[in-house]
Structure 1
């Protein structure tokens, strides 16, 4: 009979003011039944022995002077619960169908009151199946499990909503979160005490329903508790480590801000960010739309949707930002400084090599500004013909700058732990002017590799015929080349970029690396 506790909720569609009526009506009903049960227990204690209660399930009929009334009351309680369920269940089924959870035909209503006749027939058939299953003692535990499971889930959700402080959760009758959790624990605890096997079946069915609903990807507007939980956890974690040094050596990883532009034209750039984030770094794709923000809002939303769809389809774990700005120079300066939150601010900038001669001054100034901001700079000079080759060989050209070299070693290691680069061989190459120093340099580089625990083969070359010639001859068969990037000189923008073009001409896909924000690896 206590299953009627949700009768008001099931009939919420017919109530004039369900927000007010359901809490008041439910608690009044519970109050009345509570008094009846308390009186009944006291009467049992005074009139009936424990032995009689255990041996005779119909003891009330035996002890009562008016046994016929007891039988009629049992019938009334049973029928009221059954009828209440048969009236409430179809409406719940109809509401779920209208929300897209269940097949649409179950939501069909009849008449002015939109009576759920189809759902009523289905509910009757489900009830009939359980009735013909056998004895009441067999059916009762199964039905009980689903009721208790529902009560436990309601308490659990209510407790979580209160605990995470979701502003949209504003119940008229407010309950502390721990009271709801106690209710949930009590419900599930009683389930295991009654019948552990039936409990496992009930929980398994509930989980399968959850998986089925997840696969349906229902478009909903009522919100998702999971988002609130994850936001609360993320907020707690960020506040917990907000004063930590994100560049401490053990925890350092590249958090990359990618100037991706048109994603379909910069797939190679996004792919590089993806394989570099294998060490759980954070990727943010940045796209600019130039113009007046009033006229670009619709375009901004379209671009955001396209990027998110692309990331989801390619299974790339990344954030995306689309910014409307007047020009690149000013927008990029402020975006780099403001992007991210707390410790999750980018420490590495990934850009493509500029082929636009008119914008080369702005391009070099952008690099210099980020050097002043202590950001690592990665410039990808992509070979459209060779692409990323067979992904078997990475060449790192060590130029003497410790931060550049160590960052290149770390990047090569991160690339090597990706599945499609797992067979890659890393070479560490260095050029010396005096061949007599080659052994000394080789030992020094070998000691660095031992220190950072990265496997690589060391090769020392004598400077004969120019640096570009040596790099080209030794790395022509590589799949990826890494070169250190010297700090560009202001006022010599054209010369700086011409030197980069000269060094990388004829090479496979190349990453130019300026390491500033990296600790000991």
Structure 2
């Protein structure tokens, strides 16, 4: 079915102002069935002061949330979908969708609950009417009104508002004979103060009724804050006044035992009953309108399958496809006949939404980004009260359903993250800034603590390249050296000719490492010589947080590059950076990646004050990393030119294995010169050696030829230790 095109000639999208689009629907949703049927029960259980306390706590939470929402709206161009739009534009589509879907379901199921409430009031007058017939008739009337015209739906609310005002006049027309007792009534032993709070709190959760219409408001930035806050003030005053009237008009026993006392104790009973029916009808109407708008907004951002179908609307702006689906959800829930068991879950979804709005403003305030310039500023205490209040209310009302709701939201977030929605995000969000702020905070705290780089050491590689092709055949090996906790920074060295090709290839190289689970960054420098570019980068990155601690080089085939490598290796040592010089065998490669020969010269083991490993630490740690990632075995080889030291070296190596805790399968101490030991060494897939300060590249090539294996030469940075 093709989407209906909006904004075509002949019919314009209807836009609403603050009074019609926000104040009236919000006020009517708050002044609902709980006001008529449960407020007296609340007063009867906890007394006037207790009821006022509950009302003030509930409205404090929703007021804080409204103030937070107002501040956010004054900083963004809010789109359709109300709370969904607010959260999506601040925290990303994944979080917005994981909150928006439960909020949509909560609103849709609320329609059924309000219809059940309407039916209960109607059967109070006509007990013989069929319950199912009433439910279906009311639903049909609601659906037709909303389907035909939102403007008509909002005009009907004026009539409903008049009826509710008339019902309140009928109540206050009976003035109590005496003032009420200002005290807490003893709560019955089978119910607590917070249980009473849990029953009342849903009355205060209608604050999003106007915000859900954000896409159809003339000026949502002003209309939503003004209309919602005014609705809270008016409804809060009405609840406080009604609590006073109830406490003065009846005994606690009457109020607890008679849910309909407000009807029977009023001047004109039928008018109050009409107010009850009007309130439930209005709440159902607003919830149906709001739910369809949220579904439509999620469709615009491809949150769900077949999103283009959900995102269509008529020329007058009515999202009829979203309405059809919402109507189906409501109709299905009506057929279940009893939603009381999941009613607390609906409240949880509302509270999670309110809590997230407060969290959004808390994050924005604490990040102190320049982009956060709200016209309406609030103290940090306001969203903090809102956040804590929402969490508190959730677990007071029903801890089990709170956990279920949070789990449901978490699962949705995981599913949406797996769909990679961010690629289509039409606006930025603060998530990356949040993690950057956390990293900056952690970095500052870390820098203030005593530095122990050996304890926290992990391989962070700087890999200079002249062309993307240089990493071919080495990517998997680099991954094995760094995975899982290391990182890679690819340094493109541009000396003029290959700049465009190099710049185009670096992002794809970075993505390949990222796909393998390696945190990777890339950068490019322009320089006259290869060595100058690498050395300048080493010096520039030295004092940065998460700076590279190893430079990864490949043995050049052309000897003319050897002087550059010597210069780089020397400067790396001056800047406390380790070196890995990889020399792949042209035929053998890395073989089956099952055996590693770790060469430790006998003179490297000294014990003036315990076991000492000069320039062996990086070689040992790298061998360990590769053995873990390859599931390989390590063999230690130690050629000893002096036959008299063989036993001492064997003993030292045994202690080395014990103290370094590396998985060594075999220790071979051979009484022969190093050069002859190379030719006689057992076969392996990789040979690891220490790299001297002034490397002899001819000897390195001879080593590769004699071992007939790829080799890795390691030079310590003095910032790592295999003995820790």
2:409 maps to what in 1? 206
Shift of 1:66: 0.8
Distance 1:117-1:248 versus aligned 2 partners, 3 A rule: closer
Shift of 1:268: 4.5
- Superposed CA deviations along residues 422-457 of structure 1, whole A, max 9, x for unmatched, are xx3322222222323222222233333333333433
Shift of 1:240: 0.6
Distance 1:144-1:370 versus aligned 2 partners, 3 A rule: closer
CA contact (8 A) 1:257 1:346 kept: yes
* Paired residue secondary structure (2:556): coil
Q: Separation in 2 of the partners of 1:129 and 1:201?
A: 22
In terms of mean alpha carbon deviation, does 97-106 or 241-250 score higher?
A: 241-250
- Superposed CA deviations along residues 372-402 of structure 1, whole A, max 9, x for unmatched, are 2232111001124322222232212223343
1:46 maps to what in 2? 248
Distance 1:184-1:130 versus aligned 2 partners, 3 A rule: farther
Q: Separation in 2 of the partners of 1:167 and 1:8?
A: 29
2:636 maps to what in 1? 428
Shift of 1:370: 1.6
In terms of mean alpha carbon deviation, does 342-351 or 155-164 score higher?
A: 155-164
* Paired residue secondary structure (1:258): strand
2:444 maps to what in 1? 239
2:310 maps to what in 1? 106
2:624 maps to what in 1? 413
Superposed counterparts of 1:164-243, under 5 Å: 164-218=367-421, 219-243=424-448
Higher relative contact order (CA closer than 8 Å, sequence separation 6+): 2
Q: Separation in 2 of the partners of 1:29 and 1:462?
A: 92
Shift of 1:183: 2.0
Distance 1:118-1:329 versus aligned 2 partners, 3 A rule: same
Match of 1:509 among 703, 706, 710: 710
- 1:470 and 2:677 are equivalent in the alignment: yes
2:692 maps to what in 1? 486
Distance 1:47-1:115 versus aligned 2 partners, 3 A rule: same
Q: Separation in 2 of the partners of 1:145 and 1:128?
A: 22
Q: Separation in 2 of the partners of 1:280 and 1:513?
A: 19
- 1:454 and 2:657 are equivalent in the alignment: no
Q: Separation in 1 of the partners of 2:339 and 2:710?
A: 74
1:67 maps to what in 2? 269
Superposed counterparts of 1:287-302, under 5 Å: 287-291=492-496, 296=500, 300=503, 302=504
CA contact (8 A) 1:350 1:378 kept: yes
* Paired residue secondary structure (2:616): helix
Q: Separation in 2 of the partners of 1:443 and 1:201?
A: 60
Q: Separation in 2 of the partners of 1:50 and 1:171?
A: 47
Shift of 1:412: 1.4
Distance 1:299-1:352 versus aligned 2 partners, 3 A rule: closer
Q: Separation in 2 of the partners of 1:206 and 1:519?
A: 43
Q: Separation in 2 of the partners of 1:292 and 1:32?
A: 72
CA contact (8 A) 1:269 1:352 kept: no
* Paired residue secondary structure (1:251): coil
Q: Separation in 1 of the partners of 2:543 and 2:275?
A: 64
Distance 1:390-1:458 versus aligned 2 partners, 3 A rule: same
2:336 maps to what in 1? 133
In terms of mean alpha carbon deviation, does 265-274 or 116-125 score higher?
A: 265-274
* Paired residue secondary structure (2:376): coil
TM normalised by structure 2 equals: 0.65
In terms of mean alpha carbon deviation, does 166-175 or 15-24 score higher?
A: 166-175
Q: Separation in 2 of the partners of 1:33 and 1:375?
A: 67
TM normalised by structure 1 equals: 0.88
Q: Separation in 2 of the partners of 1:385 and 1:185?
A: 65
Shift of 1:482: 1.1
Q: Which runs of 5 or more residues in structure 2 are unaligned?
A: 1-28, 31-204, 605-612
Shift of 1:309: 2.7
Superposed counterparts of 1:55-454, under 5 Å: 55-102=257-304, 103-111=307-315, 113-135=316-338, 137-138=340-341, 140-218=343-421, 219-244=424-449, 246-259=451-464, 262=467, 265-278=470-483, 280-291=485-496, 296=500, 300=503, 302-313=504-515, 315-327=516-528, 328-339=530-541, 342-399=544-601, 400-401=603-604, 402-418=613-629, 420-421=630-631, 424-454=632-662
The count of residues paired between Structure 1 and Structure 2 equals: 504
Shift of 1:352: 0.9
Shift of 1:474: 0.6
- Superposed CA deviations along residues 306-363 of structure 1, whole A, max 9, x for unmatched, are 12331233x2312221304134222211111222764422221111111123333222
CA contact (8 A) 2:596 2:627 kept: no
- Superposed CA deviations along residues 272-322 of structure 1, whole A, max 9, x for unmatched, are 3332334733332323344389x84x963x434312331233x23122213
* Paired residue secondary structure (1:427): strand
Q: Separation in 1 of the partners of 2:484 and 2:346?
A: 49
Q: Which runs of 5 or more residues in structure 1 are unaligned?
A: 490-495
Q: Separation in 2 of the partners of 1:249 and 1:149?
A: 44
CA contact (8 A) 2:514 2:520 kept: no
CA contact (8 A) 2:492 2:506 kept: no
CA contact (8 A) 2:362 2:383 kept: yes
Distance 1:472-1:247 versus aligned 2 partners, 3 A rule: farther
Distance 1:340-1:123 versus aligned 2 partners, 3 A rule: farther
